[in-house]
Amino acid sequence: MTKLVPVLSAHWDEKDSFTIEAYTRHGGYKASQKALAMEPDAVIQLVKDSGLRGRGGAGFPTGMKWGFIPQGDNKEHYLVVNADESEPGTCKDTPLLMANPHVLIEGCIIAAHAIRAKTAFIYIRGEVTHVVRRVNQAIEDAYKAGHLGKGIEIVLHVGAGAYICGEETALLDSLEGFRGQPRLRPPFPAIAGLYAMPTVVNNVESIASVPAIVLNGAEWYQSMGTEKSKGTTLYSLSGHVKNPGQFEAPLGITLRELLELAGGVREGHRLKFWTPGGSSTPIFTDAHLDVPLDYEGVAAAGSMLGTKALQIFDETTSIVRAVLRWTEFYKHESCGKCTPCREGTWWLVQILRDLDAGVGTEEDLNKLLDICDNIAGRSFCALADGAVAPIISSLKYFRQEYLDQLANKGPLFDPEESTLFAPSKAGV
């Protein structure tokens, strides 16, 4: 029995799924009609009742976030959609927007109505020009069809490719034309966000989940998922897996089940470690195959659900090399605002390069952990917490491999073996 429950991805297999015709054919833009006929507060209540939680990583209840916007304050309100998907491993918003951009547009119409905003901004990562073109076309079609331009406008903004701009306040700075660096909070965006006006910042998938909730009701959504993690979501499997891709399932599915759906780990190999929600979430090992992948389940096992980006690494992968690569990413993407992240990632990379080359002593592992302790929870935003998560968790599960590498005075793994073009070991 398949556990797949395609809601967002229901019609992705149709050739023209991204067009307004296809979307309308499957009942698109009926939800917005329904929502616009409702009181805004009723829409907020509906989303609260559905139990929908933010899909950008933190899992904050979406309806509650909307409810924070002060009402009757005679100010402009803004909806901002965070489509700056940039984390290593995270790859759900890009296919979603390629396959069905209109569900986001309809979600924007409903959300903007609920928070009494006239303008919604979609902030898309600059590198994904194919997505930008597709969303642009969809917005144009939605205007032509009369869904937009009658009280609700959508502005598409293309970022310049900085990971930090996925942090909501840095995104707002960037959207305003400044360098993307996180803002001091309070004030929170709900009080003073974009252009100092009350603003809701939501992930693409969160907003795209709303039309179905409006059409089918809160109870329908509540009926899926686990006790505190309701509904369905996109799980993105990548790496050493037979059929990588998007798997939409109710929250609470396990990696064991997802791997079955994806055809298992790369032929002839076994699972070594994996990320539950992108590179900023502490890694898991094959001991965690049955952890329920909902917000509470993953947290209880010592990591975070994050963006449900399940990167699968088999036994050919060097943990040291993988962690080094991730750390290099965080060093490159540190915005530079605060000391722990800026200087810390600079230092961590140097230590990990040594360890990867087999240079160092066990004392260096303790130093590495201590530096991580001086970075985590000391930085301005959560980026640095994410940067040290793979290091700390890898030392928790694979300390011996680090030591073996040092004893070997060099790499233990042939990088080529972990590549997809490596000779198959099937049947060996």
Q: Which residues bind another protein (CB under 8 A)?
A: 162, 164, 179, 184, 331-340, 342-347, 350-351, 367, 371, 373-375, 377-380
CB of 229 to another protein, least distance (A): 22
Beta strands in 255-374 (DSSP E): 271-275, 284-285, 309-314
**106 or 385: CB nearest another protein:** 385
CB of 146 to another protein, least distance (A): 41
**62 or 327: CB nearest another protein:** 327
**336 or 415: CB nearest another protein:** 336
CB of 406 to another protein, least distance (A): 15
**49 or 343: CB nearest another protein:** 343
CB of 344 to another protein, least distance (A): 6
What is the C-alpha R_g of the chain? 22
CB of 126 to another protein, least distance (A): 15
**366 or 424: CB nearest another protein:** 366
Beta strands in 92-227 (DSSP E): 119-124, 153-158, 199-203
**29 or 330: CB nearest another protein:** 330
Report the candidate in 68, 62, 98 with the shortest Cα–Cα distance to residue 83: 98
Please list, in sequence order, all residues whose beta carbon lies within 8 angstroms of the beta carbon of residue 2, skipping any fewer than 6 positions away.
261
Residues 281-304: b if buried by 16+ CB within 10 A, e if exposed: bbbbbeebeebbbbbbbbeebebb
Beta strands in 96-231 (DSSP E): 119-124, 153-158, 199-203
Number of CB atoms found within 10 A of residue 226's CB: 18
CB of 174 to another protein, least distance (A): 12
CB of 331 to another protein, least distance (A): 6
What stretches of 334-382 show up as alpha helix (H) in DSSP?
339-356, 362-375
**Long-range residue pairs from 377-382, CB within 8 A, at least 24 positions apart, any chain:** 378/340, 379/338, 379/340, 379/341, 379/344, 380/182, 380/337, 380/338, 380/341, 381/164, 381/167, 381/169, 381/170, 381/182, 381/337, 381/338, 381/341, 382/167
**31 or 384: CB nearest another protein:** 384
Q: Report the C-alpha gap between 238 and 80 in whole angstroms.
A: 28
CB of 371 to another protein, least distance (A): 8
CB of 418 to another protein, least distance (A): 27
Q: For the chain, what percentages of helix, strand and coil (3-state, to nearest 5) are there?
A: 45, 15, 40
**325 or 378: CB nearest another protein:** 378
CB of 69 to another protein, least distance (A): 24
Number of H helices, E strands in the chain: 17, 9
What stretches of 357-411 show up as alpha helix (H) in DSSP?
362-375, 383-407
Residue 161: DSSP 8-state: S
Angle at which helix 101-115 crosses helix 129-144, to 10 degrees, equals 60
**172 or 259: CB nearest another protein:** 172
**5 or 351: CB nearest another protein:** 351
CB of 178 to another protein, least distance (A): 10
**48 or 342: CB nearest another protein:** 342
DSSP string, 121-144: EEEE-TT-HHHHHHHHHHHHHHHH
Cβ atoms 268, 428 nearer than 8 A: yes
